[in-house]
């Protein structure tokens, strides 16, 4: 049996028939992997400033992944407006954090060590996918409230 704090344990929980963790958490983890890949490329490019920022963003994404699971589980339990808002606010924070990861990964891919360009590009792609997934989740959770400014912010993060 996998430990619950292992990657296998997380994936088992993600695939289980439970409300959480789900898409937001999975997207956050994908974004954190993207940040780690871009961090690796930044380190091989001797860009300590970017590498340090990517460490912070990676930690933020993992924390937001946990928060997303909790917010969705809380909403499923309470159905309250406050908990519903968290199912929008947390994916928005994930999307905006992932957009910053993507921007830094692109910077490293374009100006860093070409031998690790594939790592930076992979980090960029994962971060963009994270932002896109979270923008869609926000769209779904807003249930057609097109005038909510959080939707515009999420879409902007997804486009980069």
In a domain, 12, yes or no: no
Task: Give me 130's structure tokens.
Answer: 């994270």
Owning domain of residue 57 = 20-159
In a domain, 6, yes or no: no
Residue 113, CA distances (Å) to 12, 37, 109, 121 in order: 36, 13, 8, 12
In a domain, 5, yes or no: no
CATH of the domain at 48: 1.20.120.680
Distance CA 66, CA 121 (A): 26
- pTM of the full predicted structure? 0.93
In a domain, 130, yes or no: yes
In a domain, 2, yes or no: no
In a domain, 1, yes or no: no
Residue 150, CA distances (Å) to 15, 21, 86, 98 in order: 28, 22, 12, 15
User: Do 75 and 39 touch, CB atoms closer than 8 A?
Assistant: no
Read off the pLDDT of each residue in 131-137 and give the average, rounded to a whole number.
97
In the chain, the number of structural domains is: 1
Of the candidates 153, 126, 128, 151, the residue with the CA atom closest to the CA atom of residue 140 = 151
Of the candidates 63, 139, 130, the residue with the CA atom closest to the CA atom of residue 98 = 130
In a domain, 4, yes or no: no
49-97: pLDDT as tens digits = 999 999 999 999 999 999 999 999 999 999 999 999 999 999 999 999 9
In a domain, 89, yes or no: yes
């Amino acid at each position: 049996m996998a430990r619950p704090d292992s990657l296998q344990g997380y994936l088992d929980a993600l695939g289980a028939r439970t409300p959480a963790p789900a898409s937001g958490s999975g997207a956050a983890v994908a974004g954190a992997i993207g940040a780690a890949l871009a961090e690796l490329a930044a380190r091989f490019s001797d860009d300590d400033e970017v590498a340090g920022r990517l460490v912070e963003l990676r930690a933020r994404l993992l924390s937001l992944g946990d928060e997303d699971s909790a917010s969705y589980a809380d909403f499923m339990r309470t159905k309250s407006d406050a908990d519903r808002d968290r199912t929008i606010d947390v994916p928005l924070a994930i999307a905006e954090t992932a957009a910053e990861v993507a921007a830094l990964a692109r910077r490293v891919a374009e100006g860093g060590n070409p031998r690790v360009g594939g790592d930076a590009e992979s980090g960029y792609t994962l971060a963009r996918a994270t932002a896109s997934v979270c923008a869609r989740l926000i769209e779904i959770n807003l249930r057609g409230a097109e005038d909510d400014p959080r939707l515009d912010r999420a879409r902007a993060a997804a486009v980069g």
